[in-house]
Structure 1
Amino acid sequence: MKPLTTEVNIRLAQRSDAQALCALMKQTFMDTYASFNTPENMQLHIASHFALAQIQTELQEEDVQYLVIEHWAELIGFAKLVQNHSAKGLEDKITVEVARIYVAKAYHGQRLGAQLMQDCLNRAKGLGAETVWLGVWEHNPKAIRFYEKMGFQRFGEHVFMLGTEVQNDFLLKKEV
């Protein structure tokens, strides 16, 4: 664990962050899931979801916001919020999805994830959301515990494709 030498800054990502954000996405995804999946499926997923051009496009989309945690001008965590994207069971709600939330492995254990999630919840509320929801892999107990501590409750499941492999995600929600 790298100790924090100063306070961190959580802010909206800018287009100029695209390359660093893309690298952080790839690294945190590999750190989290590489030991559970084939290298081929990991590379397929990364190529189709974390390409620089895609991240640059998403940073310009009206319904997508990326939040980043910055420490000494280095990006060490991020979250992706998506408006106007609902899940089965939430069709009648105004929702924001936390589509991704990760903190670099070297900074785990310093409550940065909780700070980032609280910022996501505050921003979602500011966007008029009634409910924040997310999907979490059913075989990721650490993340499930984290979300439950943050007040999320399970309301369903959906299929998640990682490369060519079909996986199951639990759907969790929290009223804001």
Structure 2
Amino acid sequence: MSDTDSASSPDSVLVIETVTDTSQAAAIADVAAVTFPLACPPHSTPENIAAHIGQQLSTARFVEHIEDPVKQVLVIRDGADGPIIGYSLLIHEVPTIDDVRAAVLAASGGPKAMSNGAVTEISKMYILPHHHAAHNAQKPAHALMTAAIHAAAAHGSSYAWLGVHSGNQRAQKFYAKMGFTRIGTKTFDMNGAIEHDFVLGREVS
């Protein structure tokens, strides 16, 4: 995948690109601050949500992601020079969590798929709420996920995985439509509050 790819047909104004310029980090962080709370379970406290945003979704954190050679930040724009309406964070390395690594190993067909970091985590995948509807017959979330899968393949990965909160049925349905199946579970620490995620995975072709 090139640094800038059309998200759909030539008449679409949706554009997806890999971010290499750290000056875009602030705009991505702004989108993250809006979208993350919408995916949190109802029992999440405002204090825990705010703390997570400050610790994990700050401008400085996205600068680190953009500069990290193992990570890849994708953004989707409304027009070639338009505003960022969503983003995805990919991590091109073998899972570091034991339970996740075991689940991916079992689901991906053995150690060969895990060699040389040939696994990609789709760590984050968010679209601003008022942009979820189809745009010129192309849904932004589908376009961004498709680009993420293509990016994983371009990196040499044969398998992709992600975590989704066990109570987020809407997200689970979306991921199922995109070819993901449940392969395990993991926990998620949000400022001291332990949440439970399903681990989903799919082959990358």
* Fold in common (TM above 0.5): yes
In structure 2, the partner of 1:7 is 13
The 2-side partners of 1:78 and 1:135 are apart by 16
Say whether residues 1:17 and 2:24 are aligned partners: yes
Please name the residue that 2:175 is paired with: 147
Counterpart-to-counterpart distance in 2, 1:34 and 1:147: 17
Task: Determine the C-alpha separation between the residues in 2 that align with 1:115 and 1:104.
Answer: 14
Map of 1:63 onto structure 2: 70
Q: Distance in 2 between matches of 1:141 and 1:39?
A: 21
Quote the Cα distance in structure 1 between the aligned partners of 2:41 and 2:62: 21
1:106 equivalenced with 2:127 (yes/no): no
Q: Structure 1 stretch 60-69 or stretch 14-23: which is displaced more?
A: 14-23
Greater shift after overlay, 153-162 or 47-56?
A: 47-56
| Number of residue equivalences | 172
Question: Contact (CA 8 Å) 1:43, 1:163: kept in 2 or not?
Answer: no
Secondary structure of the equivalent of 2:50?
A: helix
Q: In 1, Cα distance between the equivalents of 2:164 and 2:94? A: 16
Alignment match of 1:49 (pick from 56, 75, 82)? 56
Q: Any gaps of 5 or more consecutive residues in structure 1?
A: none
- 1:121 alignment partner in structure 2: 149
Kept in 2: contact 1:80–1:101 (CA 8 A): yes
Give the structure with higher Rg (CA).
Answer: 2
SS class of match (1:88): helix
Shift of 1:109: 2.6
- Say whether the 8 Å CA contact 1:34–1:42 is kept in structure 2: no
TM (norm. structure 1) is 0.92
User: 2:150, 2:101 → 1: CA distance?
Assistant: 23
Identical columns (%): 27
Query: Normalised by the size of structure 2, how large is the TM-score?
Result: 0.80
